[in-house]
Amino acid sequence: MVHNLVIIGSGPAGYTTALYAGRANVGPLMIDGGVGKGQELLGAGGQLMITTEVENYPGFEHGIQGPELMQIMRKQALRFGVEVVEELVSRVDFNVYPYKIWVNDDVYEAKTVVIATGASAKWIGLDEEKPAWEGGLGGRGVSACATCDGFFFRGKEVAVIGGGDTAMEEAIYLTNHASKVYVIHRRDTLRASKIMQERALKHPKIEFVWTSAVEKIHDPAEGKVTGVTLRNTVTGALSELALQGVFVAIGHKPNTEVFAGQIELDDAGYINTHHNVRTSKFAVFAAGDVQDHEYRQAITAAGTGCMAAIQAERLLEQLNVLSVDEATADW
């Protein structure tokens, strides 16, 4: 069976594509990411599954918890008949039409594809920060998710590494649990938006450690964190800071490994798009954070998911009267 539309990923972009395509009777199949690979690759629901309050998604006057919002999006999409495969896509072949998408040994064929695989947290690259499922310390001392692991640090001193919005959000969230939160940043200015900066800078529990990089996390062999060694990025001087938890919040990497060589990516690995959501390959669309390094918001992801669904539906209509070669000429 050749599917009209296969949606890869189930964050706000994927669910919105599914909702629109389902209501248009396209009969989409969604491969939702399953349980993912922990913090390296989040599973079904995507990034909002690891956050708390979402205050800027329209329609929720008093805000909503991220996981609850994703549950609602899933249920809304399922109402309109999307079929869901709870797995990760392992390989694709966009060279022969209809396209092939593999989930391990199972192969799905598609006339149109929407890639909505989002982005994943970056690690700083120290051995000590390896997450638990790789035999590291995740959850016990080093984490990339304050919402998941903040609870384990009640009354303790922790550090957040980074200077962007995610770092500020993580730091502010951690003040609910920790007695003190250091924000360790390589530079002397922040990349975070003004409002997030202001909230963090004036928070009594947050202390900024400027122009500093973490060189080493102490005592991972004992299954805990007792401190970090810092290197001053201007003078090179080393110093130590005692604390019990490290939260890495240095940004995200688009989840595009499985598409490398199949569609055009930019230098950072984001999918290049034209006409809003068209990729370099005929009938393959990309929506959400996987093609957006500028806005990276739930609402923009949902918005591009809507565009992708509408464009896919129009293309399927065209394919009823045009050959693939004719339709490709217009791409």
The residues annotated as belonging to the active site are 145, 148-149
Spatial distance between the Cα atoms of 237 and 234, rounded to a whole number of angstroms: 8
Residue 235 makes CB contacts below 8 A (sequence gap 6+) with none
Burial of 109 (0-12, 13-18, 19+ CB in 10 A): middle
Nearer to ligand FAD, 26 or 49 (CB): 49
Residue 123 burial (CB count, 10 A):
18
Residues in 269-288 that interact with ligand FAD by CB under 6 A: 288
Name the one range near ligand FAD by CB under 6 A: 6-14, 126-134, 151-159, 232-240.
6-14
Our finding on whether 265 is near ligand FAD (CB under 6 A) is no
Q: Which of 64, 82, 116, 183 binds ligand FAD (CB under 6 A)?
A: 116
Question: Residue 129: how many CA atoms within 13 Å on its side-chain side?
Answer: 22
Q: How far is the CB of 240 from ligand FAD (least distance, A)?
A: 29
The gap from C-alpha 245 to its chain's centroid, in whole angstroms, comes to: 23
Spatial distance between the Cα atoms of 228 and 214, rounded to a whole number of angstroms: 7
Q: How far is the CB of 238 from ligand FAD (least distance, A)?
A: 31
Q: What is the DSSP string of 59-79?
A: T-TT-EEHHHHHHHHHHHHHH
Q: Which of 4, 14, 162, 251 binds ligand FAD (CB under 6 A)?
A: 14
Counting residues that bind ligand FAD (by CB under 6 A) gives: 42
Q: Which of 26, 28, 29, 33 binds ligand FAD (CB under 6 A)?
A: 33
Our finding on whether 118 is near ligand FAD (CB under 6 A) is yes
Nearer to ligand FAD, 12 or 136 (CB): 12
Nearer to ligand FAD, 89 or 158 (CB): 89
Our finding on whether 82 is near ligand FAD (CB under 6 A) is no
Radius of gyration (C-alpha) of the chain in whole angstroms: 21
**How does 153-167 read in b/e, with b if 16+ C-beta sit within 10 Å?**
beeebbbbbbbbbbb
Q: How far is the CB of 88 from ligand FAD (least distance, A)?
A: 4
- Using alpha carbons, select from 121, 239, 233 the residue that is nearest to residue 185: 233
Q: Which residues bind ligand FAD (CB under 6 A)?
A: 8-14, 31-33, 36, 41-48, 50-51, 54, 56-57, 88-89, 116-119, 166, 169, 255, 258, 288-290, 296-299, 301
